Amino acid sequence: MLNRVTYLTGSAELAARLPNVSARKPFDDSIVEFLNDVSRKLMGNRAAKAYSDVVTFAFWIRKTSVVKLKERFEKADNHLHVGKGVVFHIAPSNVPVNFAYSLVAGLLNGNANVVRVPSKDFPQVSIIAEAFNDVLSQNEAIRPYIQLVRYGRDKVINDLFSSIADVRVVWGGDQTIEELRKSPLPSRSGEITFADRYSLAVIDSDSYLEIEDKERVADDFYNDTFFSDQNACTSPRVVVWTGNRIDEAKKTFWEAEHELVEQKYSFQSIQGVNKLTSSYLIAVAEPGVKVEEHKDNLIVRVNVPKITDCLMNYRDNSGYFYEYDCKDILEIKDLCNDKRCQTIAYVGDSQVVLPLIKSGVKGIDRVVPMGKTMDFDLIWDGYNLPALLTRTVVLA
């Protein structure tokens, strides 16, 4: 059965022996060194440099960066901490390097990992797998900890890897989670699921207008949205404007953004039709909305007179934004009191959302500066990954 799987790293024999691999302590020195070697390999690879996402990953796993993580997450609580054992990761099919972050989270926390990489043949996947393989050839001891696998939507294989998993990490949203839930986990095993989420931006108009480098802000917003077709869980779908000079700020902000999108974004014909459809659907669902005038279909904005809880059922991507002029941050409570609400990207002061969080909303897992929504961290999507990927041993 394991032969129905393609191994980018590892093999059927190693995969069969996963349950026998020893768990390690978190941030084990040999793992830290190993990742640093992979980082160097990637940094030295000419092909890797063409992919900003690969470079960002390489940067994240270099020793100085990992040591900082170690300082933040190493527990000084008189207990012993050790990896859970085997982590089975299902990476999302549309994000090329996400699999690598998931793997590293598993590795750094002392686990052996089997990672299903995207079935689509992204060059980034091969580049990263190759770097791992190169370094593994000098590091036989770490080899059993990394199985990068590729297979179609195959429940039998899912069943098999789930049956040996101590933790299952499922990316890819609601439908993938639903698929994987059909494969049972052992009783003591846990699961980390990355469900469908949405995000928003909160921009203080006064703060924005004071920023000198408007291009930088446009760039940051581009990275948060258009870079992933505004379709990542972290991509703002709604822009909430606060402060006293909203109209002026909007005008400058969207003009700068449009200029950048015109230069950088590769527009697909159907996207204009999709955005038109979405804007008309919301016009029917929420009478009173106004579609802002737009000279082309790159950015379509719909102004909503109030925030309702059904707004996000009408979200779209590729440059489709709802906008709301906000006087009191609690006005957007319905948007955030939803378990699907993930990240708030802000311009201005992050403290403005505090009343919202304190109001007991069920959403909002991250509040980060604009431009930082995609920066991966071991605390992600509301989960403290090191806590979930390790066991705590009491030695009294």
Partner 1 sequence: MNFEEILNINPYCLNLEEKEKLLTERLVELTKLHQEKCIEYNNILKSIDFDVEKVKSYKDLPFLPVRLFKELELKSVPNEEVVKTMTSSGTTGQAVSKIYLDRTTSSNQQKTMVKIVSDFTGSSRMPMIIIDCPSVVKNRAMFSARGAGILGFSIFGAKKIYALDDDMKLDVEGMKEFLDKFQGQQILLFGFTFMIWQHFYKELLRLKEEGITFDLSKGILIHGGGWKKLISEAVSHDEFHQRLKVACGLEHIHDYYGMVEQTGCIYMECECGHLHASNFSDVIIRRPIDFSEADLGEPGIIQVVSTIPESYPGHSLLTEDEGVIEGVDDCPCGRKGKYFKINGRLKNAEIRGCSDTYATKF
- Cβ closest to partner 1, residue 80 vs residue 273: 273
Question: In sequence order, what are the beta bridge partners of 193?
Answer: 170
Q: What sign has the CA pseudo-torsion 318, 322, 327, 332? A: negative
* Least separation in angstroms between CB 286 and partner 1: 9
Task: Give the count of beta carbons closer than 10 Å to the beta carbon of residue 247.
Answer: 9
* Least separation in angstroms between CB 273 and partner 1: 6
Alpha-helical (H) ranges within 137-264 are: 155-163, 173-180, 205-210, 214-224, 246-264
Can you tell me whether residue 149 is helix, strand or coil?
strand
* Least separation in angstroms between CB 340 and partner 1: 11
Question: Does 174 contact partner 1 by CB under 8 A?
Answer: yes
Question: Does 289 contact partner 1 by CB under 8 A?
Answer: yes
Q: Answer yes or no: are the C-beta atoms of 360 and 276 closer than 8 Å.
A: no
Question: Does 191 contact partner 1 by CB under 8 A?
Answer: no
Question: Does 158 contact partner 1 by CB under 8 A?
Answer: no
Dist. CA 225–CA 219, nearest whole Å: 10
Q: Which of 21, 260, 283, 357 binds partner 1 (CB under 8 A)?
A: 283
* Least separation in angstroms between CB 172 and partner 1: 4
Question: Does 319 contact partner 1 by CB under 8 A?
Answer: no
Question: Any idea of the CA torsion for 352, 356, 358, 364, to the nearest 10 degrees?
Answer: -100
Q: For residue 218, report the phi and psi dihedrals to the nearest 5 degrees.
A: -60, -40
Dist. CA 195–CA 175, nearest whole Å: 8
* Least separation in angstroms between CB 231 and partner 1: 3
Question: Does 233 contact partner 1 by CB under 8 A?
Answer: yes
Q: Which of 28, 130, 191, 229 binds partner 1 (CB under 8 A)?
A: 229
Question: Does 246 contact partner 1 by CB under 8 A?
Answer: no
Question: Does 390 contact partner 1 by CB under 8 A?
Answer: no
The structure tokens 């955030």 sit at: 336
Q: Of the candidates 59, 154, 156, which has an alpha carbon nearest to the alpha carbon of residue 100?
A: 59
Question: In sequence order, what are the beta bridge partners of 347?
Answer: 203
Dist. CA 215–CA 195, nearest whole Å: 33
Q: Which of 67, 80, 281, 310 binds partner 1 (CB under 8 A)?
A: 281
Question: Does 373 contact partner 1 by CB under 8 A?
Answer: no
- Cβ closest to partner 1, residue 190 vs residue 272: 272
Stretch that binds partner 1, among 44-52, 58-66, 124-132, 266-274 (CB under 8 A): 266-274
Task: Give the count of beta carbons closer than 10 Å to the beta carbon of residue 211.
Answer: 12
Stretch that binds partner 1, among 139-147, 209-217, 287-295, 386-394 (CB under 8 A): 287-295
Stretch that binds partner 1, among 55-63, 208-216, 261-269, 356-364 (CB under 8 A): 261-269
Query: Within 80-109, which residues bind partner 1 (CB under 8 A)?
Result: 92-95, 98
* Least separation in angstroms between CB 240 and partner 1: 20
254: its two tokens: 């969207």
Q: Side by side, which strands form the sheet with 341-347?
A: 290-291, 300-303, 320-325, 236-242, 198-204, 341-347, 366-369
Dist. CA 309–CA 183, nearest whole Å: 33
162: its two tokens: 């789930």
Question: Does 267 contact partner 1 by CB under 8 A?
Answer: yes
Stretch that binds partner 1, among 40-48, 66-74, 80-88, 174-182 (CB under 8 A): 174-182
- AA letter at 369: P
* Least separation in angstroms between CB 328 and partner 1: 25
* Least separation in angstroms between CB 298 and partner 1: 7
Question: Does 273 contact partner 1 by CB under 8 A?
Answer: yes
- Interacting residues toward partner 1 by CB under 8 A: 92-95, 98, 171-176, 194, 196-197, 228-229, 231-234, 267-274, 276-277, 279-284, 287, 289-291, 295-298, 302, 317-318
